[in-house]
Amino acid sequence: MSVSPLAAGDRPTWQPGRRLLSFGALLLALLALWPIGGLLGEGLQGLLNGSAQLGPDGGAQLRGTTLLLLGTALLGGALGTANGWLLANCRFPGRRLLRVAQLLPLASPSYLLAATLVDLGSRQGLRIHGLGWGVLVMALSTYPYVFLLSTESFTICGRRQLEACRCLGVGPWNSFRRIALPLALPAIGAGIALMGMEVVNELGAVQLLGIPSLSAGILQTWQAEGNPAGAVGLALITLCIVMVLLVGERRLRRSSRRWTEGVAGGESPAWPLQGQRALGAQVLGLVPPLLSLGIPLLWTARNLDQLRAGFSGELLQLTGRSLGLGLAAAGLAVAAALVLAIAKRWSSAAWLRSLTFLAGMGYAVPGAVLALALLLLGSPWRLAPLLLLLWGYSDRFLAVAKGGLDAALERLSPSLDEAATGLGCRWPAVLQRIHLPLLRGPLAVGALLVFVDTVKELPLTFALRPFDFDTLSVRVFQYASDERLAAALWPALMILTLGLIAALALIPGLERQGQDQAPSRG
By CB under 8 A, name the binding residues for another protein.
Answer: 55-57, 118-119, 121-123, 125, 127, 129-130, 207-210, 216, 219-220, 222-224, 226, 302-303, 305-306, 312, 317, 320-321, 323-328, 331-332, 368, 372, 375-376, 379, 382, 386, 432-433, 436-437, 462-463, 465-470, 474, 478-479, 481-487
The separation between the first and the last C-alpha atoms of the chain, rounded to the nearest angstrom, is 32
CB atoms within 10 A of CB 425: 16
**Nearer Cβ to another protein, position 50 or 169?**
50
**Nearer Cβ to another protein, position 37 or 437?**
437
**Nearer Cβ to another protein, position 210 or 414?**
210
Residues whose CB is less than 8 angstroms from the CB of residue 169 and which lie 6 or more positions away in sequence, other chains included: none
CA distance 437 to 440: 5
Q: Are 271 and 89 in contact (CB under 8 A)?
A: yes
Closest contact distance (angstroms) between CB of 11 and another protein is 26
**Nearer Cβ to another protein, position 203 or 352?**
203
Closest contact distance (angstroms) between CB of 394 and another protein is 12
CA distance 464 to 367: 11
CA distance 27 to 266: 42
Closest contact distance (angstroms) between CB of 273 and another protein is 36
Closest contact distance (angstroms) between CB of 462 and another protein is 5
Closest contact distance (angstroms) between CB of 376 and another protein is 6
CA distance 172 to 154: 13
| Strand (E) or helix (H) holding 296 | helix 275-302
CA distance 490 to 312: 9
CA atoms within 13 A on the CB side of 60: 10
CB atoms within 10 A of CB 188: 26
Closest contact distance (angstroms) between CB of 386 and another protein is 6
**Nearer Cβ to another protein, position 165 or 323?**
323
The pair phi, psi for residue 265, each rounded to 5°, is -80, 175
Amino acid in position 502: A
The burial class, CB within 10 Å (0-12 / 13-18 / 19+), for 235 is buried
**Nearer Cβ to another protein, position 410 or 470?**
470
Dihedral sign of CA atoms 271, 277, 278, 281 in order? negative
Closest contact distance (angstroms) between CB of 118 and another protein is 6
Closest contact distance (angstroms) between CB of 132 and another protein is 13
**Nearer Cβ to another protein, position 94 or 130?**
130
Paired with 91 in beta bridges are 272
**Nearer Cβ to another protein, position 45 or 478?**
478
For residue 2, what is the DSSP state?
P
**Nearer Cβ to another protein, position 261 or 482?**
482
CA distance 344 to 350: 9
Q: Are 452 and 323 in contact (CB under 8 A)?
A: no
Closest contact distance (angstroms) between CB of 435 and another protein is 10
CA distance 329 to 344: 22
CA distance 41 to 47: 10
**Nearer Cβ to another protein, position 129 or 277?**
129
Closest contact distance (angstroms) between CB of 260 and another protein is 19
Closest contact distance (angstroms) between CB of 283 and another protein is 31
Which is it for strands 271-272 and 90-91: parallel, antiparallel or unpaired?
parallel
Residues whose CB is less than 8 angstroms from the CB of residue 295 and which lie 6 or more positions away in sequence, other chains included: 113, 116, 117, 120
**Nearer Cβ to another protein, position 253 or 396?**
396
**Nearer Cβ to another protein, position 184 or 398?**
398
CA distance 336 to 398: 7
Closest contact distance (angstroms) between CB of 483 and another protein is 4
